[in-house]
Structure 1
Amino acid sequence: MKVSDSSSTEGAPLPHSAVVGLQFGDEGKGQIVDLLSGEHDVIVRYNGGANAGHSVRVGNHKYVLHQLPVGILRPETINVMATGMVVTPDGLFEELDGLDALTTERGQLHISRRAHVVMPYHVDEDRLRAGLAESILSEEETLGTTNRGIGPCYADKAQRDTAVRVGDLFDRSSLARRLEFVVALKNAQLSALAEASNGEFTPYQVADLLSLCEGWAERLEPYVTDTETLLHDLMADKSLLFEGANACLLDVDQGTYPFVTSSQTTVSGIPGGIGSPVIPGRRYGVAKTYISRVGTGPFVTELFGDDADRIRDIGQEYGSTTGRPRRVGWLDLPLLQHGVRVNGTNALVLTGLGVLSQLPSIKICTGYTGPSGQPMDTLPTTIAEVQSLQPQFIEMTPDGQTSAGSGLADWIGELIQVIEAVCPVAAVCVGRSREDVVWLD
């Protein structure tokens, strides 16, 4: 396996690029976006909100960003929170304050006027719905929400007359009138939901919410802009990097529905999420060489017991947003192929190799057998069909190393050959710092 002389992508001018996760999240997208942000002028978040968590190590510091684009860590970059996002203002302010406490410089930030705002009643609805679900459904049947109000906010976006967008925060009279209706409706709905779930709920007052929104508007004002026009102008002579949040198998349309998030997480979500019909030329798909998943939902190659505990402990598999232990399992190539197809991925980045190197043996799922014993190599549509699958494995033996001389260890080269039956591999990560990304020729 030939390794390039540099861990940089410097060279010919880059086309617009995208980085998306191809599994269930926590693949290591933040590390790759951070590295590639040094090669692009503009970093754009186009979906999701505070339910995402991108971890980046720079020197001795670890940054966990939930809403801010990862490019914010580079002072020369332009960072955009685009229309497809939902913004939790107080959480965003905490991120900005935390960043300012660690560094005196950060990139420019622009927030879309059309992005929707996560309101306090969205968080209440998330909590109360989860409580009701837990009282009726089994643990495996519940969605396992992060309780950040993301789903209810996206639901209000579709409902329209109960939604609040960032731009609405700056029109006090119209917002006050809107909140009269919203508060009446939400108080009625959430009071009933609290009664049904035996949960607690304190009705909202228009004046309190209006005061909260005014405070948000004052602090958000320097960042808020028409990002559609901004991005249209920047595309003329700047290179853009689109940072996907969550992951392909959590996409509201292409994921393991209903155990998914509420937004479009794939490359297809970029045009609607930014307001421009652009499809990036370089589409990086980040895949962990084992799989992790937070919360409920089907997981064909899931591990249990000592094997799962060992991977979880070595890989520190705990959610950066929730802190919950992640479920773990072996790499699933049919699942990976699904992610590659729906994203049009043309460059894979593999992570988690440092974890696998410490295991005595590893497995890779190369296909499934269905309930009648028939071979299958694609992901079925329904949850029942997915849960009926039996994985078919091949086994490999790591040698405890990630490198050999100036190149990668032989077992990594063999693993890459297996994975490249799905998509070409552009880079591998043998650790979690910028210096641990190895680009391949």
Structure 2
Amino acid sequence: MNISSVKFNHAGPITGPKWAGFRPTLHLRRNSDVVSFESRTKAGAAPSSLAVTANELPSQIESLSQVSGVLGSQWGDEGKGKLVDILAEHFDIVARCQGGANAGHTIYNAEGKKFALHLVPSGILNEDTVCVIGNGVVVHLPGLFNEIDGLEANGVSCKGRILVSDRAHLLFDFHQEIDGLREAELAKSFIGTTRRGIGPAYSSKVIRNGIRVCDLRHMDTFPQKLDLLLSDAAARFPGLKYTPDVLREEVEKYKRFAERLEPFITDTVHFMNESIAQKRKILVEGGQATMLDIDFGTYPFVTSSSPSAGGICTGLGIAPRVVGDLIGVVKAYTTRVGSGPFPTEIFGQGGDRLRLAGQEFGTTTGRPRRCGWLDVVALKYCCQINGLSSLNLTKLDVLSELPEIQLGVAYKQFDGTPVKSFPADLLLLEQLKVEYEVLPGWQSDISSVRNYSDLPKGAREFVERIEELVGVPINYIGVGPGRDALIYK
């Protein structure tokens, strides 16, 4: 069926003759600590962010808005990093707006080398892309520098290409320790966090004793702020060992971090809005996913930020009216890590087979993921909340060996009463019954297919039935982990 995509082209895509020869060059103005773009025109040069001409671009990419986003539409781990990496060469800026090192994005370069990123936006592999870590992100500096060192060691230049918001909050090692202590306290009711300190760091932010990146510029007052933060944590968690020596060591460590981070620190709110005014193309990379949203997910089994569309504005300091196309990334089946309700979960050998076929083990933790059928009710809910204009269906190839495939299309209470949307009540979620549609499988290898029309009939029927049920077009279909294993529909 033909479902048209809704587009919000506020400033229009950067394509066409007027951009011929445009090459964005990044300049750091040290005196004001503000980063801005200045354009240079070089005769005969191709646009750096548009390596292919407009005529060669797939229409799905060419028509994307000036500010577009890629968001997870399940419980995370959908494969967002790959799409961001592919789209990044057609954008000037890739930005992270929320979360922290709990976001694990696995991407591959042109030579097939694997990169596991956590804080650095996935656009870093495209050498002309500037990567922004926004104010809504919590930043663990040891982890960030480890990522930068790993990228540099593999020939990926980061100098002048990563901007860290001066408003972003710092995540310390003790936040990670608290994460483990908190989970131990909860015993059988544990959340199932990645233990990367994300929740405790956001807690510090919300109770207003957190430390921000800009505080690193004032090392005369930094020790007092850190002492307040550590003292408060030690009072709450007796298992956290805090002494004057610990404070001294942390202060010395962060003096060194502050010196190294200084070239990266930027007023990213100003930078983003200046870039929008100058018609730069911006791609927002979501971490985690809508079903883990602090407000809209399966609370309390959620993350501590807003991975839905609203988090873009609060996490980058840009206005809602400038945000255009949002692409939701969704697996051809469903997975989640950790605790919490999972209506379409497959137990036993069926779940094990799907886990092995899809290599469903966490990028950040290595934990085995729980697996189940595609939950259309949850997907529709995500589409509504985010106003998704299109979907990227990933890992379609993982289902290739199955004789039949199920879609969870409706929820019902045990008395048969329909549940109209994804409910907030966890008890209801755990008790409801899922109504399934059974579709025939295609039982053939599709990993080398690159044209939609070449997919087996069963695979096309599966894709089109999802579009019909959700009401949002599937413009991108993943059939393997490689960068080229993507079908534009």
Partner SS state of residue 220, structure 1: helix
For residue 187 of structure 1, report the CA deviation from its aligned partner.
2.4
- Aligned counterpart, 1:408: 455
Would the alpha carbon gap of residues 92 and 396 (structure 1) be closer, same or farther in structure 2, given more than 3 Å must change? same
Aligned pairs for 1:101-250 (under 5 A) are 101-106=153-158, 108-134=161-187, 138=188, 141-160=189-208, 162-191=209-238, 194=239, 201=241, 203=243, 205-236=246-277, 237-250=279-292
For residue 170 of structure 1, report the CA deviation from its aligned partner.
1.5
For residue 190 of structure 1, report the CA deviation from its aligned partner.
2.1
Query: 1-side partners of 2:200 and 2:127: how far apart?
Result: 34
Partner SS state of residue 132, structure 1: helix
Aligned pairs for 1:257-406 (under 5 A) are 257-278=299-320, 279-401=322-444, 402=446, 403=449
Tell me which amino acid in the other structure corresponds to 2:302: V
- Residue 85 in 1 paired to residue 140 in 2? no
Q: Which runs of 5+ in 2 are unaligned?
A: 3-54
Per-residue CA distance 1:133-189 (angstroms, 9 max, x = gap)? 12xxx2xx31011111110000010111x2110111120111122223223322222
Q: Is the 8 A contact 2:169 2:205 kept in 1?
A: yes
Q: Is the 8 A contact 1:16 1:240 kept in 2?
A: yes
Q: Which moved more, 1:52-61 or 1:370-379?
A: 370-379
Q: Which moved more, 1:9-18 or 1:281-290?
A: 9-18
Query: 1-side partners of 2:266 and 2:156: how far apart?
Result: 24
Q: Is the 8 A contact 1:9 1:39 kept in 2?
A: no
Q: Is the 8 A contact 2:60 2:475 kept in 1?
A: no
Q: Is the 8 A contact 2:125 2:156 kept in 1?
A: no
For residue 101 of structure 1, report the CA deviation from its aligned partner.
1.2
For residue 14 of structure 1, report the CA deviation from its aligned partner.
3.9
For residue 376 of structure 1, report the CA deviation from its aligned partner.
2.6
Partner SS state of residue 221, structure 1: helix
Would the alpha carbon gap of residues 389 and 49 (structure 1) be closer, same or farther in structure 2, given more than 3 Å must change? same
- Residue 61 in 1 paired to residue 113 in 2? yes
Q: Which runs of 5+ in 1 are unaligned?
A: 195-199
- Percent identical residues: 38
- Aligned counterpart, 1:197: none
For residue 371 of structure 1, report the CA deviation from its aligned partner.
2.6
Tell me which amino acid in the other structure corresponds to 2:140: T
- Residue 438 in 1 paired to residue 487 in 2? yes
Q: Is the 8 A contact 2:98 2:311 kept in 1?
A: yes
Partner SS state of residue 365, structure 1: strand
Query: 1-side partners of 2:265 and 2:186: how far apart?
Result: 37
For residue 125 of structure 1, report the CA deviation from its aligned partner.
1.0
Partner SS state of residue 191, structure 2: coil
Q: Is the 8 A contact 2:411 2:435 kept in 1?
A: yes
Query: 2-side partners of 1:115 and 1:360: how far apart?
Result: 49
Partner SS state of residue 263, structure 2: coil
Q: Is the 8 A contact 1:266 1:343 kept in 2?
A: yes
For residue 333 of structure 1, report the CA deviation from its aligned partner.
0.5
Query: 2-side partners of 1:7 and 1:377: how far apart?
Result: 37
Q: Is the 8 A contact 1:251 1:260 kept in 2?
A: yes
Q: Which moved more, 1:13-22 or 1:364-373?
A: 13-22
Query: 2-side partners of 1:202 and 1:115: how far apart?
Result: 25
> Scaled by the length of structure 2, what TM-score is found?
0.84
- Which residue of the other structure, out of 52, 55, 70, is the alignment partner of 1:19? 70
Q: Is the 8 A contact 1:6 1:439 kept in 2?
A: no
> Scaled by the length of structure 1, what TM-score is found?
0.92
Q: Which moved more, 1:269-278 or 1:369-378?
A: 369-378
Query: Root-mean-square deviation (CA), in Å?
Result: 2.0
For residue 104 of structure 1, report the CA deviation from its aligned partner.
4.4
Query: 2-side partners of 1:62 and 1:68: how far apart?
Result: 15
Query: 2-side partners of 1:213 and 1:264: how far apart?
Result: 28
Would the alpha carbon gap of residues 12 and 361 (structure 1) be closer, same or farther in structure 2, given more than 3 Å must change? closer
Would the alpha carbon gap of residues 407 and 242 (structure 1) be closer, same or farther in structure 2, given more than 3 Å must change? same
Would the alpha carbon gap of residues 78 and 288 (structure 1) be closer, same or farther in structure 2, given more than 3 Å must change? same
For residue 433 of structure 1, report the CA deviation from its aligned partner.
1.5
- Aligned counterpart, 2:147: 95
Q: Is the 8 A contact 2:112 2:482 kept in 1?
A: no
Q: Is the 8 A contact 2:231 2:242 kept in 1?
A: no
- Aligned counterpart, 2:124: 72
For residue 7 of structure 1, report the CA deviation from its aligned partner.
5.9
Query: 2-side partners of 1:306 and 1:181: how far apart?
Result: 51
For residue 383 of structure 1, report the CA deviation from its aligned partner.
0.6
Q: Is the 8 A contact 1:124 1:201 kept in 2?
A: no
Would the alpha carbon gap of residues 12 and 389 (structure 1) be closer, same or farther in structure 2, given more than 3 Å must change? closer
For residue 48 of structure 1, report the CA deviation from its aligned partner.
0.3
- Aligned counterpart, 1:425: 474
Tell me which amino acid in the other structure corresponds to 2:257: W
